[in-house]
Amino acid sequence: MTRLLVWRHGNTDYNAGGRVQGQTDAPLNARGRDQAAAAAALLAAYQPDALVSSDLSRAYDTASALASLTGLSVSVDTRLRERHFGEWQGMLLSDIKTGHPAEYARWRAGDPSPGCGIESLDDLSKRVLEALQDAAALAPGGTVVVTTHGGAARQGCGALLGWPNEATRTLGSLSNCHWTELRDRTPRVGGTGWQLMAHNRGVLGQS
C-alpha cells in the first residue's frame, strides 16, 4: 500500500495580503517558516521514504524543513507548481473582482477556463496528476510527501481519485502547511485504486 501525503506550503505575504500568487515565486514569511517547522515534526513521524516538491521557493523551503528532520533529499518537479493565473498573478483579489467582474464570477463559480490567461483546470489536473503518479512510483508500498500549492493540491488529488471537476470543488482548500492523505489500494472495477484517507490535517490551531 503506497501512501501520498500532499502538503501545502507555509504562509507568504501574498497569502496574508489577499494577493493571487499563481506561479509568482513569493517566499515564505516568518509565520510560514514557523508553520513548516511545526508541521514537519508531525510529518516526520510518518517516516517518509521520499520527498518531492514544486520548484517554487515557498514549497521547496517548506519541504526542506522536513528534509532536515529526515535526512532525505528533496526532488524537484515543476509540474507541481500552482495554477498559472495569467493576468491576475500578483493582483489583489479585491482589485480583480472590481477590474474583471465577469471573469472573477466565472472563476468563483468553478468555470474550468474563466479567461484572463488563467490555466484551465483540465491542464492543471493533467500535469499535477502525472507528477503525483511519478512521485508515488518513487516508493511503491512506502510513503511519499509531495509539497505543492493549494489549487494544485486540490485539483491533483481530485484527478488521482478519478473525480470530475464538480466533485473536486467540494474538497475544501488546504490551509497553509496542512496536507491530504491518499492511499493506493487494490484497484476495483471503475476505480483508480486511490482512496482519500484524510484531508486538511495539520498542527492543531494552525492555518
| CA-closest candidate to residue 84, choices 52, 53, 123, 46 | 123
122 annotated to a ligand binding site: no
193 annotated to a ligand binding site: no
Q: DSSP readout, 182-201?
A: EEE----TTS-SEEEEEEEE
8 annotated to a ligand binding site: yes
- Pairwise CA distance, residues 168 & 120, whole Å: 14
15 annotated to a ligand binding site: yes
169 annotated to a ligand binding site: no
In the annotation, is 9 catalytic? yes
Which of 82, 103, 119, 181 is catalytic? The answer is 82
Q: In the beta sheet, which residues pair with residue 196? A: 182
Which of 9, 100, 149, 178 is catalytic? The answer is 9
In the annotation, is 199 catalytic? no
Q: What is the dihedral of CA 9, 14, 20, 23, to 10 degrees?
A: -50
9 annotated to a ligand binding site: yes
Q: What is the dihedral of CA 162, 168, 145, 84, to 10 degrees?
A: 110
Q: Are 140 and 183 in contact (CB under 8 A)?
A: no
Structure-block grid coordinates of residue 91: 493582483
Q: Are 90 and 19 in contact (CB under 8 A)?
A: yes
* DSSP 8-state secondary structure symbol assigned to residue 9: -
104 annotated to a ligand binding site: no
Active site residues: 9, 82
Annotated binding site, which residues? 8-15, 58
Annotated binding site for substrate, which residues? 8-15, 58
